[in-house]
Structure 1
Amino acid sequence: MPHPTPFSLTPGEIKTAADRIATHVRPVTVAQTSPGLFLALEFMQHTGSFKARGAMNFLLAHREAGLLPEAGLTIASGGNAGLACAWAAREHGVRATVFLPETAPPVKVARLRSYGADVRLTGTRYDEARAACEEFATTSGALASHAYDHPLIAAGAGTLTEEILRRVPGGLDTLVVSVGGGGLFAGVATAALDKGIEVVAVEPENCRALNAALAAGRVVDSAVDSVAADSLGATRVSEAALTVARREGVRSVLVPDEAIVRARQQLWDEHRLAVEHAAATAHAYAPKPGERAAIVLCGANTGLGDLT
């Protein structure tokens, strides 16, 4: 530590992360909605998304190694990773400076400030916020975290898999997860594949960094144009996510925005679950008949104005 990128992730690193963060995060709740179909309600996690797991693992690992600078942490984020970083920092009395695009949802900006973070809105795309964050880290000495492309972040996210399996009697055939930059996918898939469980990686049709990388055979820039872009709007997927996605047992699935909107509305109408479009992206996948699947509902930092 610090780890170079690209990196590979192992089940052992995920187990270490699980032990490290166990007393700091909320165990996931799993609800069965029909025979063989389960929802992992990770949006009930601290800060409203799975990102709290990776952020806490990142902070604690650096603290254990004596690598937390006085300037604290800094991160560029479309919102959820910044919230998680700010929360983890507040929990341990560490400063946090968070860079977001000016297009970030106001609900996320307000929550960031409620955690005591120094919020800096820069540009209209994630890459612009990231460049400003990198410059700040260089000039201030703050420790730069990442929204998804770091082994400690991905390992923290991967702790979800074992928790889900402990709560699903009879086991699973498939874990279904939304993909943006690939941190959640890389962690969850590494743990799931190790146990013989297939993984479905779901992306919006026009916000498809992982699918584009698989088609090209390498990480490439991808267009960002989706109702779920505020959380899934990475222009490039991580090398680790691409490596995992090439393994047997992984399926890349694309869904249109119309299906994402319908899935989000269905979760509200049928279960009174108000999630963000990123979470609904995974729910837009339709399991095969007889398939025992758990769908990760990854976040709920959303406004309620468009739910009826």
Structure 2
Amino acid sequence: MRQQLGYDDIKAAAERIAGHVRPVAVAPAEGPGATGLTGSTGSTGSTGSTEGAELWLALEYLQHTGSFKARGAQNFLRAHREGGTLPDAGVTIASGGNAGMACAWAALRQGVRATVFLPANAPQVKIARLRSYGADVRLVGTEYAEALAACEEFAATSGALASHAYDHPLIAAGAGTLMEEIHARLPGLDTVLVAVGGGGLFAGVATAARQHGIRAVAVEPEHSRALHAALAAGRPVDVTVDSVAGDSLGARRATALAVDAARPEEGGTGALSVLVPDEAVVRARRELWEDRRILVEHGAATALAALLTDDGAPDDGTTGTAYGYRPADGEKVCVVLCGANTDPAAV
């Protein structure tokens, strides 16, 4: 049976995790020199501009465990605890790092074990944090898909509850609570920009954004485009991952929940899917640090990179491919900075 995600699921998640996650903080990002957003040079060498738009940053990297993933993990485990389906064998998950940390953190608070499978090339900072939460860390392969296969086998033989980094309604609904908080803090918001890996955050945010008449923009590295490819194909498909943001946005396949959330309703418009080059991602991350002393992962900087990428970049032959996002004059835009589990020395 195909899983579904609705706005009621997000409202239920918001009630379930209230008081167990940190409310998101927002900060203005407009003005000359603010993270290079006015008069920035795009990937084509021409100059784009966000001048005239009202720009905000959602500082979700301040969340427990350093990313938005804490929301979904809390919702997932608390829902299973409420339903009496949280086994003594604990919970297991495959993750590039952030989802595993969130799962381990939430499991610690529920008093159950967490066994986390990661690719062997996962950042050491994430592995260390996982172990600090008491997780049993198992390194398998070099891609998320290999860690996931090992996790599924472990769940089948151990009886542990299998969680997922992004492909589950409870996980996506928990992530969607972020949009509820952004909407409450920024009345009149027009657009929200969200980085996409497997699409759990986007599925939740886009579902809630649609309820409030806010446009959701999915931003992906051009060489890690699971959602973009799925939208072109009309269904989730496998893609090759080769991006500087691959450690957190490196899913080979997007969740169907994200594909559904991006589709237009009858008589309406759907979410927008755009790509950005790695150079823009690196630049966005560097400028956040240099201008504001905000240190985030390349994955989190990907959302901001859309505003540093000229929307006239050449099409690579993929139908409907668009690069970057240029807000209209007077448009109120919020960029989600979703995670900060990174090595400060690598900026």
- Tell me the TM-score normalized by structure 2: 0.86
Partner of 2:293: 272
1:302 aligns with 2:342: yes
CA deviation after TM superposition for structure 1 residue 46, in Å:
0.2
- Paired residue for 2:313? none
| 3-state SS in 2 of match to 1:215 | helix
SS, match of residue 305 in structure 1:
helix
Tell me the CA shift for residue 171 of structure 1.
1.6
Q: Does 1:86 align with 2:107?
A: no
SS in 1 for 2:220: strand
Deviations 1:242-286 (CA, angstroms, capped at 9, x unpaired):
111122231100000000000001111111100000110000112
Contact 1:197 1:249 in 2 (8 A): no
Post-superposition offset of 1:11: 0.8
Superposed CA deviations along residues 61-101 of structure 1, whole A, max 9, x for unmatched, are 00000001110000000000000000000112110000000
* 1:228 equivalent in structure 2: 245
Please give the per-residue CA displacement for 1:208-259, whole angstroms capped at 9, x wherever unaligned: 0000111112211111000000000000001111111122231100000000
Look up the match of 1:100. Answer: 118
Contact 1:172 1:294 in 2 (8 A): yes
Provide structure 2 residue ranges, at least 5 long, that are not aligned to the other structure. 31-52, 308-325
Tell me the distance in 2 between the aligned counterparts of 1:33 and 1:18.
Answer: 27
Note the C-alpha offset of 1:292. 0.7
Counterpart AA for 1:250: A
What's the secondary structure of 2:346's corresponding residue? coil
Residue of structure 2 in register with 1:127 after alignment: 145
Gaps of 5+ in 1: none
1:282 correspondence with 2:299: no
Q: Which deviates more, 289-298 or 136-145? A: 289-298
Moved over 3 A (4+): none
Identity percentage of aligned residues: 69
The CA deviation at 1:33 is 1.5
Amino acid at match of 2:23: P
Asked if structure 2 preserves the Cα contact closer than 8 Å seen for 1:57 and 1:156, the reply is yes
Q: Which amino acid aligns with 2:281?
A: I
Task: Say yes or no: does 1:109 pair with 2:127.
Answer: yes
1:30 equivalenced with 2:17 (yes/no): no
The one-letter amino acid of 1:201's match is A
CA contact (8 A) 1:260 1:284 kept: yes
Of the structure 1 ranges 242-251 and 128-137, higher mean CA displacement relative to structure 2 is found in 242-251
Aligned length: 302
Alignment partners' CA distance in 2, 1:162 and 1:210 = 23
Cα distance per residue 1:137-175 (max 9 Å; x no partner): 01100000000000000000000111011112x421101
Q: Which secondary structure does the structure 1 equivalent of 2:79 belong to?
A: helix
Equivalent of residue 154 in structure 1, options 172, 176, 179:
172
| Aligned-pair CA distance for 1:290 | 2.5
Are residues 1:291 and 2:331 paired? yes
Equivalence for 2:40: none
| Higher Rg | 2
Distance 1:7 1:243 in 2: 10
Taking structure 1 as the reference length, the TM-score comes to: 0.96
Tell me the equivalent position of 2:204. 187
Please give the root-mean-square deviation of Cα atoms over the aligned residues, in Å: 0.9
C-alpha distance in structure 2 between counterparts of 1:203 and 1:33, whole Å? 21
Task: Write the distance in 2 (CA, Å) between the matches of 1:43 and 1:33.
Answer: 16
Q: Which of residues 270, 290, 301 in structure 2 aligns to 1:249?
A: 270
For 2:4, the equivalent position in structure 1 comes to: 8
Match of 2:37 in 1: none
